[in-house]
Structure 1
Amino acid sequence: MTTTQPHTVTALILALPETAGSALYGMVDVLAATGTLWRELVGEEAGCPLIRPRIVSPEPKPFCCGNAVPVSPEATLERAGRPDIVIVPELWLAPTDDIRDRHEAVKDWLRNCYESGSTIYSACSGSVLLASAGLLDGREATSHWGYGDLFRKCFPKVRFNPAPNLVVADQTGRIVTAGGTTSWHDLAIHIIARHCGPGEALRIAKVYLLKWHGEGQLPYASLIRRQPHADSIVRKAESWLAEHYRESLAVATVVRHCGIPERSLKRRFTTATGSTLIGYVQNLRIEEAKRLLEGTATAADDIAAVVGYENPAFFRRLFKRCTGLTPGAYRRMFQPLTDVPNRFVAR
């Protein structure tokens, strides 16, 4: 009886000088273990690799990527052939770096791979490169939440969504973007489940203790990020709100403080910051609530009052909308390690 060997998926992992070494080699490690490592650990009959990861780069010579991590490409883009999948790991980019002036050959290669039928995956800021290549135009995508303003300003055709840990961008399912930093864990599980089966994905997750971040990115995101802009009136409003956001009539009072019509301030505020005025106040309040949940034992209803909400039920709904979690769940997730019960201490 002849046994048919399963198809080994070819996965090209792109390495550039901006690439994060941890994501690059973590992905190589995990994908290379599919089909074999679990069997070895539990003493089953030897298997065969289900994914063949290869590091590719525009040039063949070794170089150092982010944090001086050495990289030795296995192939150049020109000689890599047409892969089943392409993976763009996290890139070390500033929140304002759109890389539209770099890596034109890489962008051409990515477009050609997609047009030839490859499935394209990105982790964290890797989606900035996909956006710069035009592959995300008219499509939904995610990345680390810190790049939200960059997408809004530089890639307005992309429907940026900072909440989920994974977003399937196109109807064919051949472009998938993952969220922040260690979202490459989620991406690896997704790739293995999709190309090798859910069972193998579960086995690899068990081997590497990989956790699926089903809560998404919202619990980790900062709701307040001061944006550089030249509107002195808006800066005046931001400074005042930073001290007075807890006040019940904060919006009306800041309008009087700035001395211009309410409609004009709201329009200028949204143009300069990307946030509505009331939304900015709500974000300041929720950020304060998060800090209190993380660092105190104050009850959630009392925290609601402290940050400016007389209605605890409204506060709870708003908190969950902004963070994806209830106040209680958020506190359990981010409580300091010193507050963790001793049940984890070896006896």
Structure 2
Amino acid sequence: MNDPSATPIEVLIAAIPETAGSALYGMVDILSAAGTLWQSLIRTEPQQNLFRVRLMAPLREPFRCGNGIPVTPDVSLNDDPKANILILPELWLGPDETFNGRYPEIMDWIRIQYRYGMMIYAACSGVIMLAETGLLDGCEATSHWGYQYLFRKQYPKVPYRPEPNLVFADPAGRIVTAGGTTSWHDLAIHIIARHANPGEALRIAKVYLLKLHGEGQLPYASLVRNDPHADAVVRSCQQWLHQHFMKTDAIAHVVALAKIPERTLKRRFKTANGLTLIEYLQNLRVEHAKTLLERTDTMPIDEISVAAGYEDASFFRRLFKRSTGLTPSQYRRMFQPILTS
């Protein structure tokens, strides 16, 4: 039960024109409901707000964020607001865009507040804003799986992990990053459980029908991406693999196609894509298997293995589990209802 005499935990949510309104106001709603919504629904006492949530922007003037959603900041940087928690929600930012040089005054303020003990939580592309401060250098972090290339190119000092949904950047857990778009759900539940109490986090999850994504991001991530690069030889090899990945001797064909030494090709391929040649081929095959699992409910796993290019079904099962975090059967059960309902 909540202590009615307790002071609400102070939370600031950073809002800028690039902010995604759904994540911004969703976080406001859920944290503001902690301690009151469940209690109101079942008519129990006492009711008490566990968090005091305020929107913070560079200036106090109203503005519109992503998709023209209006934002009226509660405080600005000029107010020098104090809080226990800072949240950096999702941004509308393309995978090839850069955040470099934007909002230097916010970057400085975040660094100072962290130095003085503020806890920082960032979700999805909001992690890019946090990476820009330098506070993630040398620290593991996650974000939406679609930003792997961006982190590799723009923030090479950040050990980026695309598979988990929540990552603690430091041993004390003062910086926590969350993965894909709706990962702010997981982040909100984590914040409530950690700073208020686990029971209330469970109640809020029930009220809002929120599900913790314990499986992480791997089942949802595309293993095949067309990251831009300037190596024409590697591009031609990629194009051939996309059409002939099921061939058992695909690697040998690609080496012959490239007309350069195999060791040179493998080195250039890894430099251009961030993946080895065999990893790229395996990703193509697993993606094809995922499509077959999503669209068929009777095709045996052994046949899907052969269709993806693997005669050894046991090896295919191990590779699929390593790549997606799920067995082929688990993946089929997870995604077929979405496409057949």
Superposition TM-score, scaled by structure 1 size: 0.95
SS in 2 for 1:140: coil
User: Is 1:85 the equivalent of 2:85?
Assistant: yes
Gap runs ≥5 in structure 2: none
| Superposition pairs of residues 148-227 of structure 1, within 5 angstroms | 148-227=148-227
Deviation at residue 338 of structure 1 after TM alignment: 6.4
SS in 2 for 1:19: coil
| Superposition pairs of residues 18-167 of structure 1, within 5 angstroms | 18-167=18-167
- Preserved contact between residue 85 and residue 121 of structure 2 (Cα < 8 Å): yes
User: Is 1:316 the equivalent of 2:317?
Assistant: yes
Structure 1 residues 96-154: Cα deviation after superposition (integer angstroms, max 9, x where no partner):
22311211011111111111100000010000011111010000000000001111111
- Preserved contact between residue 75 and residue 81 of structure 2 (Cα < 8 Å): no
Deviation at residue 78 of structure 1 after TM alignment: 2.7
Deviation at residue 339 of structure 1 after TM alignment: 3.8
Moved more, 61-70 or 227-236: 227-236
Instruction: Please name the residue that 2:304 is paired with.
Output: 303
User: Is 1:264 the equivalent of 2:293?
Assistant: no
Change (3 A) 1:42 1:185: same
Q: Could you tell me how far apart the structure 1 residues matched to 2:320 and 2:233 are?
A: 29
Gap runs ≥5 in structure 1: 341-347
Q: Could you tell me how far apart the structure 2 residues matched to 1:208 and 1:300 are?
A: 36
Q: Could you tell me how far apart the structure 1 residues matched to 2:263 and 2:45 are?
A: 71
Q: Could you tell me how far apart the structure 1 residues matched to 2:4 and 2:46 are?
A: 15
| Superposition pairs of residues 251-290 of structure 1, within 5 angstroms | 251-290=251-290
Instruction: Please name the residue that 2:237 is paired with.
Output: 237
Instruction: Please name the residue that 1:344 is paired with.
Output: none
- Preserved contact between residue 86 and residue 118 of structure 1 (Cα < 8 Å): yes
RMSD of aligned alpha carbons: 1.1
Q: Could you tell me how far apart the structure 2 residues matched to 1:245 and 1:118 are?
A: 49
- Preserved contact between residue 50 and residue 196 of structure 1 (Cα < 8 Å): yes
* Count of residue pairs brought into register by the alignment: 338
Q: Could you tell me how far apart the structure 2 residues matched to 1:308 and 1:291 are?
A: 14
Give the aligned residue type for 1:180: G
- Preserved contact between residue 14 and residue 87 of structure 1 (Cα < 8 Å): yes
Deviation at residue 82 of structure 1 after TM alignment: 2.0
Q: Could you tell me how far apart the structure 2 residues matched to 1:35 and 1:236 are?
A: 58
Give the aligned residue type for 1:125: S
- Preserved contact between residue 4 and residue 47 of structure 2 (Cα < 8 Å): no
Identity of aligned residues (%): 59
Q: Could you tell me how far apart the structure 2 residues matched to 1:338 and 1:172 are?
A: 42
Instruction: Please name the residue that 1:343 is paired with.
Output: none
Q: Could you tell me how far apart the structure 2 residues matched to 1:272 and 1:339 are?
A: 38
Structure 1 residues 51-71: Cα deviation after superposition (integer angstroms, max 9, x where no partner):
011001001100000000000
Q: Could you tell me how far apart the structure 1 residues matched to 2:78 and 2:5 are?
A: 29
Instruction: Please name the residue that 1:247 is paired with.
Output: 247
Displacement over 6 Å in runs of 4+: none
Deviation at residue 229 of structure 1 after TM alignment: 1.1
Q: Could you tell me how far apart the structure 2 residues matched to 1:141 and 1:338 are?
A: 32
Q: Could you tell me how far apart the structure 2 residues matched to 1:155 and 1:337 are?
A: 35
- Preserved contact between residue 319 and residue 326 of structure 1 (Cα < 8 Å): yes
Deviation at residue 4 of structure 1 after TM alignment: 6.6
SS in 2 for 1:67: helix
Deviation at residue 266 of structure 1 after TM alignment: 0.2
- Preserved contact between residue 137 and residue 157 of structure 1 (Cα < 8 Å): yes
Instruction: Please name the residue that 1:345 is paired with.
Output: none
Give the aligned residue type for 2:133: A
User: Is 1:293 the equivalent of 2:310?
Assistant: no
User: Is 1:7 the equivalent of 2:32?
Assistant: no
Moved more, 77-86 or 320-329: 77-86
Q: Could you tell me how far apart the structure 2 residues matched to 1:153 and 1:337 are?
A: 34
- Preserved contact between residue 215 and residue 324 of structure 1 (Cα < 8 Å): yes
Q: Could you tell me how far apart the structure 2 residues matched to 1:166 and 1:235 are?
A: 34
